[in-house]
Structure 1
Amino acid sequence: MKLHKKIAAVMLCAALLFATACGTAPAQEQSATPDSSTPTIRFLLRGTASGMDRVLDALYAQMDDDHRWQLDFTFVDSGDYAQQLARSLTAHDNYDFVFDAPWQSLAMQTEQKNYKNLKNYFNNPEYPALQAAFSEEYLAANTISGGLYAIPFTNTYYDVPGIFYRKDLLQTLGLPFDEITNRAEMEQYWAAVRKKSEMKPISLGSRGFYQYNLPEITLRQNGIWVSQGWSFWDYPSQILLSSDGKQVLDVVFPGDSNEHFAALPERYQTNFLDAYLQQNAADSQWLSPDDLLQENGARVFLLGQSASYEASLASGTGQVQQQLRTIVPEGEVAFWAYDDAFLPQNRAQGSIPTTYAAWNDLCVPSYSTNTIEAMRFLDWLYSDWSRIDLFNYGVEGTDWQVVGDDEYTLLQPMGEAFRFPSYELAWNPQHHRIDTALPDEEKALLEFTFDQSSYAASPLAGFTLNTTPIAIEIAGLNSLYAEYYTAFGHGAYGAQTQEKIDELHTRSEAIGLETVRAEIIRQIQTHLDKNSAE
C-alpha cells in the first residue's frame, strides 16, 4: 500500500480534529499489504497522517478471504486540498472516495454531477452495517435535491468552537483566576502574556477569529441561521426566521441597512454582521501580522510560541496537550467555549437548534467503476466499532487503552504517534469515547454535545440551497468575497473596516446580490410551507 503524506513536522502540525497540515509536497511511506491481487480502495483525503503502518496492519489482520482489500490513501495539505480535489475530479484521477464538505465545494460539485448518488447503498439490508450506523433521519438531513451524494460524517451535531490556551502559563501570570470562563478573563490573559512574555497572545489560522464575535448557537436560538449549500465563509449571509419558524423574515448581508433587521429581537435589530466584522478589527490588537499567512494557528501553539489558538473542541484537549508536551514538557492545555449557549447553566434538553447536517463527507466520483467494492469495504468497516476506533485513536494497547465502557487513555508509543483525519472516515453520532484524562468540566461539555437529546430540529432541517438558478451570481459573489475574506476574518482592515464593508456591498449589488437574496427567500419559504403542510 502506498500512503502519501508530508514528512516535515507531522507531529507538531497535527492538531485538533487530527487534521492540521503544514506543508505542500506529499511523500510516500511503505506498509505491509495484502496480496497484490487484492482489490484496492483509493482515498483522496484532506490533512496529514502518521503511524498508519500499524493501524493498517491491524485492520488487514481482521480481514478474511471474503472481505479483503488493499487501502491506498493520498493526503493533501489542508490549504491545497480544494484545488487538488477540483483537479482530480476534472482529470478523472483514480479515486474511489474523495473528501468534500458543505463548507468546501460539495454543493457545487454535486450540481456539476461530479458525484454519484449513493442512496441505494443505505437503508439497504444488503449493507446491514451501513443501515445500522447511518439512520434514515440522519441521511434525510444530508440529502441534496433528494439524492445522497455524500456520506455524512460527524460524531456530534455541533462541534463547539472556542479558545485553547496554556493553563500552566495562566497560573504564572499573577491573575486573580486560575481558569478562563469569560471574554474579559481571556483578554486579561492575552494582555498579561503580551506584558510578561515574548509569546504571542493568540495565533489564528485561515479562518481568522471564526465565530468568536458571532456565536452561532446563540444566533440559532434567536432564529438566525446560515444557509446549507452556500457557505457563510464563501460569502457572509444569515437567514432570519420568524419565532414560529414558518416564515422567512429576510436574508441579510454585511452592509445591509438596519431595516432588514427590524423584525428580530432587540439585540439584533441593527446590522450584527457589520458589528461582527468591526469587532474582529478591534480584536486584531492581539494578533501578529504573520497570522494572515498561516493555515492553522495550532502549529504556533504546539511549538510553544503562542499562548492560545482558536479551534473547535472535537475530542478535547488531550491530544493537543500530548503534542505540546513534546516541546513544552510542563505544558497544560485548557479550553474555553466562547458561545454563552454552552455555559453550564444554559445546557438543557433541546437547547442546541440543529439541522442534523454533517459538516464533513466522503463522496464517490461519478466516473468511478469500483463503487460496489468500495461500499462493500465501508459496510465491513462499520460492522465492528473496533475498526472505527483504529482510525480514531490508533492501535489499542499501543496508541490508546480502553477505560470503562466509553472512555480511553492515550499512551505514548515508542515510535511515531498516530494521527489521522478521522472526521473524514470514522466519526459517527452513534459511537463516542471520551479521553479519561480530561477535566470534569470538559467531559461534561463533550457529553452534552454527544447526547442527542441536547438537540432540537430546525425548521431548516433537510433544506439545501439549490444554487443552479443563481449560479452566475453566486460564483461572482464568492469570487468577490475572496478578496476580503482573510482581512475581514483577521480584522486586518482596522479603522477602514466599515468603509470596506460598504465597498463590498456596493460591488455585490452590481453582481446580483438582490437576485440572490430573493431566490434564497423563495426557496426557503417553499421549504417551510412544505413543512407546514406535512
Structure 2
Amino acid sequence: MRLKKWFGATTTTLLASSLMLAGCGGKTETGGNEGKSSIPTNAESAVSAPKATVALKAYFPGDKPAGFDDVLQAVNDKLKADNIGASLNINFLPWTDYGNAVSVKMSAGEDFDMYLDAPWLSMNQMIASNSLMELDAMVAERPELKASIPDEMWEYNKFDGKIMGIPLGTTQGQLYGLLIRKDLREKYGLPELQTLDDLEKFLYTVKEKEKDIKPFVINGIKADKLPFILSDSANLALDEVLEIGVNMFAYSIKDKKVVSQWASPMIADAYERVTKYYKDGILSKNIAQEQNAETLFKQGKYAATYYAADGVEGLKYSEMLQDGSDKLEVFVPNGDKAKPYTAFQQWNFLCIPTSSKHADLAMDVANWLSVKENHDLMEYGIQGKDWEPVGDTSYKVLSSYSFPGYVLTWRPTLNRTPDTMMPDDKKWFDFSTNPANFTLSPTAGFNFNAEKVKTEYAKITPLHDSVFLPLSQGVLPADKGKATLDEKMASLGGQKVIDEIQAQIEAVTSEK
C-alpha cells in the first residue's frame, strides 16, 4: 500500500483508522546488539546478562493515537523482557509541518534515531546530502526483517542501488475497480458484472429505473483513476505502463518512449467513455467539486463508487453490512485475467539519520517488529483490550486504538485484516499483497528526480488539476481536453520534462 503526497492529512487519518495500524523503532549505545540478527526468546533473555536500555527517539507524522501510551508501555516492557536493549520514544508531529520540522531537526544535528521519509517528502534531498544511513548490510544481518518484506520490495525500492530506508507497504501494485450495490443488480435480474458492457448496462438500468438512486459517484480529485477503470485494458499488462510515478505520463513498451497518458492508445477508449457518461448523467454533473462520495454512497444515494484493492477503500463501507446483508460487491474489470504492471514501488520509508548513534539498535528493533507477536502488539495494540485474533490473518477490533502502520510496522507477510472486511474486498486485497499476481514493469527501479527540469516541471504540474482532471472527469470532452493538454504542454516546456524522464528511464533500464 502506498501513501502519496496528494492524499493529504484527511486520507492519512482515514488510512490509519481503517486498518488500525501501529509503529515504532530502536537500538543500543553499549554495542551489545550491533551486528546481531536473532531475536532472543524469553528463556534466552533470562540467562543472558540484562542489557542497558537505550531510549530511541523517533519522529512520525500525525496525531498520537488514542490509547497509544498504554500500548507503547507494553511494547517497551516486551522489548525489555526480550533483552533487546532498547525502548522507544515516539514523537508525533502535525502533518502540516512534518516535512519542514524533520528537515530542520536534521540540519540542526539533533540526535534522533528514526523517522518516516519518502520521495514525496525530503528523501531524495536527504540522500543527496548524505543525511541518511545506508542499510544494505544491516538488513542482510537481520533475517526476520528481510523475510517479512518480499524480495521485490527490497530490490525495487533502492536509491542508486542502495537500501536507504525500510520500504513500508502492504500491497505490491495497483488494482482498480468499482464497489456496486449487489442488491440493485439482483433487483433487475442482471448477471454478476464481468465486463465493462455489463457495468454499463447496470449503470444505465439504475439511471432509467431508480427514482432516488443515481448511478455512479466519485470524488473529483480521484477521477484521474477513471481511465484505469473504464478502459478495455484495465488491470492488464499490455503495451504501456500507465503509472510510472510521474503524474500524467506513461511509458510505451512497444516504442520505448515516454508518452502522455491522454495520448495512450491503451486507455483512449476510456476517455471517450467518460465523456459519454458525463454527458448522459451517469457521472454527476457536480463531479469536479464532489468531495463527499463516501458519505453519499453510504447514504444509499448512488449505486456505484470508486474501489481500489488497497485494504483501505473497501473498509470505508463495512458499516453498510452491519445489518447482516451482502448488498455490496466489488467489480474489477478483467478480474479473471488481471495481472497489472507494477514497479513494486512503495511511498513510505523508515529512515535512520547518519547522525544517529544507535543505528544498529534501531535496526534490531525493526527486526524485532518483524516477528508476528511483536508486530501485532505495536500495530493492533494490547490483545484482549484493543483487539483479538480471528485466525492467523484477521482480527476483531475492541477499542479505538489506531496506529499508523505505514510509518513503521507495515509488513506484507504479517498483515491482518479486520473481520468486518467484506469477502470481495478481502479477496482482492489478498490478491494485491502477492507479488506473483503482478507483472514486473520495465520501468521498475525508476524514481523521477525533477531537479534538472524543476522550472519546467513546476510549470506543467498545475495542468493536472486544471485540465487533466476535468478531462478524466468527463467535464472536458475527450477531443477538446486532449488538444488543450497537448497545446499547453508544448508551450510550457513539457517536452523538456518528457526528455528528462526518458533519459532517467533509459539509465535504469540499461542497467538491467
Global fold match (TM > 0.5):
yes
Corresponding residue to 1:309 among 302, 305, 311: 305
- In structure 2, the residue matched to 1:238 is 250
- TM superposition shift of 1:111: 6.8
- 1:354 equivalent to 2:342? Answer yes
Shift of 1:456: 4.2
Paired-residue identity, %? 20
Alignment of 1:10-409 (within 5 A): 39=55, 41-45=57-61, 50=66, 52=68, 55-64=71-80, 66-72=84-90, 74=92, 81=95, 84-92=97-105, 97-101=114-118, 104-105=120-121, 109=125, 113=129, 116-120=132-136, 122-125=138-141, 127-134=142-149, 138-168=153-183, 170-171=185-186, 174-177=187-190, 179-191=192-204, 196=210, 198-199=212-213, 201-205=215-219, 207-215=221-229, 218=234, 221-226=237-242, 228=244, 230-232=245-247, 236-242=248-254, 248-253=255-260, 268=265, 272=266, 275-284=269-278, 285-288=281-284, 291-293=287-289, 297-302=293-298, 306-315=302-311, 319-324=315-320, 329=323, 332=326, 334-340=328-334, 342-343=335-336, 346=337, 351-364=339-352, 374-382=362-370, 384-390=371-377, 392-404=379-391, 406-409=392-395
The structure-2 alpha-carbon separation of the partners of 1:335 and 1:483, relative to structure 1 and needing over 3 Å to count, comes to same
1:492-507 correspondence runs (5 A): 492-493=475-476, 495=477, 497-507=478-488
Within the alignment, does 1:510 sit opposite 2:496 as a pair? no
Residue 520, structure 1, aligned to residue 506, structure 2: no
Letter in 2 for 1:160: L
Contact kept? 2:84, 2:364, Cα under 8 Å = no
- Residues 456/447 of structure 1: CA separation in 2 closer, same or farther (3 Å cut): same
Structure 1 letter corresponding to 2:447: T
- CA spacing shift, 1:156–1:480, aligned 2, 3 Å: closer
Task: Measure how far apart 1:152 and its partner are.
Answer: 1.2
Structure 1, unpaired ranges of 5+: 1-7, 20-36, 243-247, 262-267
User: Which whole-Å CA distance do the structure 1 matches of 2:171 and 2:213 have between them?
Assistant: 34
TM-score (norm. length: structure 1): 0.70
Q: Relative contact order (C-alpha < 8 Å, sep 6+): which is higher?
A: 2
SS at match of 1:74: strand
| One-letter amino acid of the counterpart of residue 155, structure 1 | T
Q: Per the alignment, do residues 378 and 516 of structure 1 end up closer, same or farther by CA in structure 2, a change over 3 Å counting? A: same
CA contact (8 A) 1:43 1:72 kept: yes
> CA RMSD for the aligned pairs?
4.3
The change in CA–CA distance for 1:432 and 1:517 in structure 2 (over 3 A counts) is same
Q: Work out the CA distance in 2 between the residues paired with 1:304 and 1:14.
A: 25
Question: Structure 1 residues 178, 58: closer, same or farther in 2, change over 3 A?
Answer: farther
Distance (whole Å) between structure 2 residues aligned to residue 308 and residue 46 of structure 1? 31
Identify which of 445, 462, 470 aligns with 1:487: 470
Give 3-state SS (helix, strand or coil) of 1:221's partner: coil
Residue 139 of structure 1 and its aligned partner are, at CA, apart by 2.0
Please tell me whether the aligned partners of residues 181 and 336 of structure 1 are also in contact (alpha carbons under 8 angstroms): no
Deviation at 1:291, TM superposition (A): 4.9
Structure 1 equivalent of residue 455 of structure 2: 472
Question: When the two structures are superposed, what TM-score results if normalisation uses the length of structure 2?
Answer: 0.72
Residue 37 (structure 2) aligns with: none
Distance 1:254 1:319, change over 3 A: closer
Partner of 1:461: 444
1:429 has 2:416 as partner: no
Change in 2 beyond 3 A, CA 1:200/1:425: farther
Amino acid of the structure 2 residue aligned with 1:252:
V
